[in-house]
Amino acid sequence: MSTRAGAWPGRLVVVRLGVVLLGVLATLLVAGPAVAHVGGGAAGSDFDGRVTSVSPAPSGVSVRVLEFGDALEVVNETGTELTVPGYTDEPYLRIGPDGVWRNALSPATYLNLDRYGLTRVPDDVDVTAPPRWEQVSTEPAYVWHDHRTHWMTEDMLPPTVAADPTRAHTVAEWTVPMAYGGTPLTVSGVLTWSPPPPAWLVWPVYALLLGATVLAGWRARTPRPLGVALGLGALAALAHALTTPEPPVTVGSWPGALVSALLPALLAVLVAAIGVRAALRGRGVLAGLMAVVAGWLLLVQGLPDVDVLWTAHTLTPGPELLGRATVAVLVAVGLGLVIGGALAARRFRDDAVSRRPSVEPVGA
């Protein structure tokens, strides 16, 4: 009798060790894909940039703005070379069938490596000297921080925005000159700013999600409410993965990014499914432990994109409200599952122990 009663702590140690190992595995599997979900940059911003026209527009040449205007991408799939001058009209880029070549003697080569143009320009750079071309890619595509497409002053709003941050503004209408086979080509675009969602409206929603999930594990009489939270988290993980934005061509393909994001999401769904099944069967301890693991998986997926919770725009290729809602669930419900799941596992374990009939030792 005493041996059977003492076996429970030993099994509990094994289960806890399994949870820790699953957490480590989750970190290794998810950390890379989660960052890839937004291409390694910010997931949200109050600024937004877009290309309005390419004139003339050669067939096979595409230009788009990335990361809310922070970067410019050019893809030239034709047999004709496209050139981009630097800021003083010096030769800067050649993008064509033999890849991308960059002039090492152009200041733009160094200034465009950094979002704020902080890279030091070498002393020997001379815009009047003959170009010194260096191949930087064998593919006919390139992404760079063109400083005409975004706001350059960090931690300071544009004057028009600072004067009235309650409404949307057009910050700048910009142009980037290029040439296609010697024919001048102009890329035009616009940079805008929008006010973020009001804190008094959205933060109570996040707090409600967190509080309700914790209470589901802490106070609910059965583990079923915890199962509901697990199901909600699984749906958010799938939606978050399926709305993975198309990455820059220099980083990878959209199908590859989607698969990379789906793998950790499917792992979260699997763990959540085990937890939901345990909750429906009244197995509170197992449901709580699975909630801890699932919550950790949701957090690691959502935290890299957490800035969408307080910014006006998201990188989600769809309704921005959906993108913001999925991250809110991943973070708030994920944290709630970690806390509530741990409380539930302990509470249901203690309840099971208290209901276990006591056995008098033989000879007492």
Residue 82 in tokens: 């496209």
pLDDT number for residue 261: 81
- pLDDT tens digit sequence for 179-212: 999 999 999 999 999 999 999 999 999 999 999 9
For 330-342, letters b (16+ CB in 10 Å) and e give: bbbbbbbbbbbbb
Mean pLDDT of all residues in the chain?
88
Domain coordinates in residue numbering, the chain? 2-42+197-355, 47-193
Q: Kindly tell me if the per-residue pLDDT of 23 is higher than 50.
A: yes
Taking residues 217-235, what's their average pLDDT? Answer: 95
Nearest to residue 108, comparing CAs of 87, 89, 123? 87
pLDDT classification of 12: cutoffs 50, 70, 90: low
pLDDT number for residue 130: 96
The amino acid sitting at 195 is: P
Taking residues 270-294, what's their average pLDDT? Answer: 95
Instruction: Please report how many Cα atoms fall inside a 13 Å half-sphere around the Cα of residue 299, on the Cβ side.
Output: 17
Distance, in Å, from the CA atom of 235 to the CA atom of 321, rounded to the nearest integer, reads 15
Nearest to residue 74, comparing CAs of 112, 131, 116? 112
- The pTM (predicted TM-score) of the whole model is 0.83
pLDDT classification of 7: cutoffs 50, 70, 90: very low
pLDDT classification of 225: cutoffs 50, 70, 90: very high
pLDDT number for residue 357: 64
